[in-house]
Amino acid sequence: MIDTIKRLSQKYAASKRWAKMAVAAACILAFAPAPAEPQVRAQLQELGGPGDQPFAGDPFAADEVVDFRENMRLLVQNTSAFARAFNPNFVILAEDGLGLVSKPNPEDETQLFPARAFVRAIDGVLELRLLERLAPYVSTDGAQEDPALTARRDALQQNLKTARRLGVKVLNLEFSEKPKEISGLLTQSSTQGFAPFVGSDPILGDVPENPKRAFNANPQNLDDIRQARNFIYVANSQGFGTASDYVQALSMTNHDVIITSVFHGRQPLSKLDVHRLKYKKLGARRLVLAELDLSSAATYHYYWQENWRQGAPAFISLPYVEDPDRFRTIYWDPGWQRVLFGDANSYLYGIIDLGFDGVVLKGLRAWRYFESGGEEE
């Protein structure tokens, strides 16, 4: 597999036809035939996706009736069903997933009920800056808190309570470079029952210098995300040097869970790389999870084709202002979902084939963007 990827990379250097070859072979796609594909498709059809008809409308049009929140739940559920058809123990973490664990009563939106199908499809949630978002309002000048902020915090607390009651593991990602502040964030997170990590900055491109050792280091083998006491997240590994340098650096850590990109630069990690990451410095087994973005497509991703642009194919929506090479997707469109999962040419199957223990599903907040008419995320 590694030789195949290297040959394809050499072709890429000599030609710009990489996009046409990518789905067939690059980025983890030197696959054996997918087992049990008919059963997988049957399960997805039972769940209601992905179908065959592209979404042809304007998601912001007044006459379009799309339940953006429920469509995101269904996407997560279908992604989970596909993965677990191959590996029943495949870990599904939903980044920013707390906003989806409850459904409002149609007759009284202040009343929330568990979204049980969604909750059963995931093992945990990864939340950003959860301590700050949960902190009670403190006025310094006697002013009242904005009622919208109060309502949002109350909903978050209720969703957190629901998630815990239903056995959902909560991972909390904070950011700081100050040793004393890092220590406080780790301790507070752990006290509240979260598995914490404090990154140096949102780029997530290094192994932080502080603390020197993994917080709440666990010497036991770990095969269940619910056992995790801590984690480490490296989304951008190029700064480590070669892929071997990157894997070696993380092999010297004792975190219970590693979250990483499938790629090191333009090259995917190898099966051997993933296998090496599964063992802590002290030798115990840990979980290694890959990122999978459900709601954006980028020109620099392996699957992007030369003729793609906004509106072509239909699932490519508006570009991000802060990253014009990355586009929002109509995430409920079956064409986009086939890029993500569904057969042996899909992104998720490649992740499974490489031996990852699970995925962190990113981009779940996209429902907020569409639901607010493009004003909020």
pTM of structure: 0.86
Beta bridge partners, 127, equal 172
Amino acid at 354: L
Q: In this structure, are residues 59 and 293 in contact, taking their beta carbons and an 8 Å threshold? A: no
**CA quadruple 16, 22, 24, 29: dihedral positive or negative?**
positive
Confidence at residue 2, expressed as pLDDT on a 0 to 100 scale: 41
Indicate if the pLDDT at residue 35 is higher than 70: no
Rg of the chain in Å (alpha carbons) = 21
Neighbours of 243 (CB within 10 A): 19
Give the C-alpha separation, 340 to 168, whole Å.
24
Higher pLDDT, 243 or 374: 243
Going by pLDDT thresholds of 50, 70 and 90, the confidence category of residue 58 is confident
Give the C-alpha separation, 241 to 246, whole Å.
7
The H or E element spanning position 133 is helix 130-134
> Residue 198, SS3?
strand
Residues 165-220 pLDDT 10s: 999 999 999 999 999 999 999 999 999 999 999 999 999 999 999 999 999 999 99
Strand residue runs (E) in the chain: 91-95, 102-105, 108-114, 124-128, 169-175, 195-199, 232-234, 257-260, 263-264, 267-268, 287-293, 296-298, 316-320, 323-329, 358-362
Whole-Å CA distances, 166 to 123, 159, 169: 10, 11, 9
Q: What phi and psi values does residue 267 have, to the nearest 5 degrees?
A: -100, 135
Angle (nearest 5°) at CA 244 between 14 and 195: 120
Residues 320-332 pLDDT 10s: 999 999 999 999 9
Whole-Å CA distances, 96 to 173, 320, 338: 11, 19, 23
Residues 266-301 pLDDT 10s: 999 999 999 999 999 999 999 999 999 999 999 999
Give the C-alpha separation, 155 to 136, whole Å.
13
Indicate if the pLDDT at residue 237 is higher than 60: yes
Indicate if the pLDDT at residue 262 is higher than 60: yes
Higher pLDDT, 52 or 116: 116
Total count of residues recorded for the chain: 377
Going by pLDDT thresholds of 50, 70 and 90, the confidence category of residue 52 is low
> Residue 258, SS3?
strand
> Residue 175, SS3?
strand
Indicate if the pLDDT at residue 319 is higher than 90: yes
What are the residues whose beta carbons fall under 8 Å from the beta carbon of 173, sequence distance 6 or more? 126, 127, 128, 129, 196, 197, 198, 199, 233
Show the domains of the chain with their CATH numbers: 35-136+144-371 (3.20.20)
